[in-house]
Amino acid sequence: MNIKSNKKALFIVRTLKEQGFEAVYAGGCVRDMLMNNEAHDIDIATNALPDNIERIFPKTVAVGKAFGVIVVILDGEEFEVATFRKDSAESDGRRPDSVTFCSMEEDAKRRDLTINGLFYDPIADIIYDYTGGQKDILEKVIRFIGDPRERIKEDKLRLMRVIRFAARFNFEIEPRTYAAVKEHASEVATVSAERIADEMTKILRVSEKRRALELLHSTGLLYTILPEIAIMRGCEQPPEFHPEGDVFEHTVLALSELPEDASDTLLWGALLHDVGKPPTQTFEDRIRFSGHDKRGMCLTEEIMKRFKFSNDFVEHTCALVENHMKFMCVEEMRTSTLKRFMNLDKFDEHLELHRVDCLSSHGDLEHYDFMVEKLKSFEATPEKVMLNKLPRLITGHDLLTLGYSQGPLFRTILTDIEDQQLEDTIVTREQALTYITGKYLI
């Protein structure tokens, strides 16, 4: 959004000013305005106390009143309005133990990066810059405000935020800031798993993914956050299939090939699709990674659970990793096997992972093109590709009626009938009954 044209945010600032308070836009939205980027939201800072904000605006939510944060709701749109504050010591490395309300300048100096410590008065059209943020934007520099070690001590997640912003904007990290991140990299382990996972997902979404992963690696953060990815560097691959280099390079390239709107599961799937290669690497007639897809699936499950992702997120990411090698066999698959493969949940993500896997290695899209054509042909025919749309010709009750005993054979017969339907060799109940009695002895 263009922060200068947002009438609701402007109304909040004007209303606070009319009540005798200071009010400005704060932080990232000001940075984005100066960089001609679209802002995702508008945060407002003021010297009005939380009780004043609640009194002035009829619809509010006290999301963090103890820390001076009130959400003001206008016509269904939410705006975070925070009282200028300075923080006391942080015992949990995230939230201050207490806050003291203060001036705009003092508030600026407790923020993380100079480019995020800016304020803008949309009515007077004035930028307030107490930390050199404008200069750092012009010079394309990421710099902690004040003492880098103090900023890190206040919130250890800032170690990762430095990397994200450097990669997002392709800025250089100021030497003292970089040195502090490298020195304290191991301390990111004290941050909750959920916050690390959320920040890592944001990092995977930046346009300069190579820069992000290289910085995570060079600072040592990757060894703490994802050691399974860090050890990919130097893990050699057979050059005839992977002319691009080691597993780390391949992973970086695969991520970089993803579209901007890639889902979070696809981002993590691309990051982890070859996580099983380092522990399965062998040197025989050539470098091999036998079973790396299965090993990778197990490691992915461990990583996803470590970061406390939802069960659905874990299941789908694991499926992406487990199935990414099956595309090598699609042209030899029976029609029924191929259709079952295509019925994987969110198959479009499986196909996209295969595409970037190829483009980041040998570049051969033969299997990808084959699958695209198969999908088109299946969709153009009246046959039911989706398994849940197949008519159920035979049930377990039918098998009991035919005289079969309940047990493992039931599943074998029912799956066989389903395969025949997918192969188009059986289309009616009568054909199914004839097939069963002719093949399976009672």
List the domain boundaries for the chain.
1-138, 140-225, 257-379, 390-439
Q: How far is CA 126 from CA 24, 102, 120, 129, 251, in A?
A: 9, 20, 6, 10, 45
- Over residues 287-291, the mean pLDDT reads 95
Give the integer Cα–Cα distance in Å for 282 and 278: 9
pLDDT for 381 equals 55
**Banded pLDDT at 384 (limits 50, 70, 90):** very low
Question: One-letter amino acid identity for 5?
Answer: S
Average pLDDT of the chain? 91
Q: What is the mean pLDDT of residues 203-215?
A: 96
**Percent of the chain predicted with pLDDT > 90:** 74
Instruction: Find out whether 47 and 68 touch, Cβ atoms under 8 Å.
Output: no
DSSP state of 38: P
Q: Given this model, what pLDDT does residue 213 score?
A: 97
For 397-442, write each residue's pLDDT tens digit: 888 888 888 888 888 888 888 888 887 788 888 888 888 888 887 7
Distance of CA 442 to the CA centre of its chain: 53
What are 132's strand-pairing partners? none
pLDDT in tens, 295-340: 999 999 999 999 999 999 999 999 999 999 999 999 999 888 898 8
Task: Give per-residue pLDDT as tens, 90-113.
Answer: 545 555 556 788 999 999 998 999
Nearest CA among 349, 343, 342 for reference residue 321? 349
Count of C-beta atoms within a 10 Å radius of residue 163: 28
Nearest in space to 297 (alpha carbons), one of 312, 318, 317, 267: 318
Lowest model confidence (mean pLDDT) among 280-294, 386-400, 421-435:
386-400
Nearest Cα residue to 186 out of 88, 93, 113, 270? 93
DSSP designation for 344: S
Cα distance between residue 340 and residue 397, in whole Å:
25
Range name among 245-259, 280-294, 317-331, 385-399 with the lowest pLDDT average:
385-399
pLDDT value at 390 more than 70: no
pLDDT in tens, 98-153: 678 899 999 999 899 999 999 999 999 999 999 999 999 999 999 999 999 999 99
What pLDDT is stored for residue 432 in this prediction? 86
User: Residue 313 — φ and ψ, nearest 5°?
Assistant: -65, -45
d(CA 165, CA 155) in angstroms, rounded, equals: 16
* H/E element, 254: helix 247-257
Per-residue tokens: 326: 């099956």
Residue-level pLDDT at 435: 86
What CA–CA distance (Å, rounded) separates 3 from 22? 18
Please tell me if the domain spanning 1-138 has the same topology as the one spanning 140-225. no
Pick the CATH number of 1-138 from 3.30.830.10, 3.30.460.10, 3.40.50.720, 3.40.50.1820: 3.30.460.10
Predicted local distance difference test score (pLDDT) of residue 38: 85
Mean pLDDT of 339-351: 91
CATH code of the domain made up of 140-225? 1.10.110.30
Per-residue tokens: 411: 């599943």
Grade residue 364 by pLDDT with cuts at 50, 70 and 90. Answer: very high
Confidence (pLDDT) at 382: 47
Residue 97: the pLDDT is 59
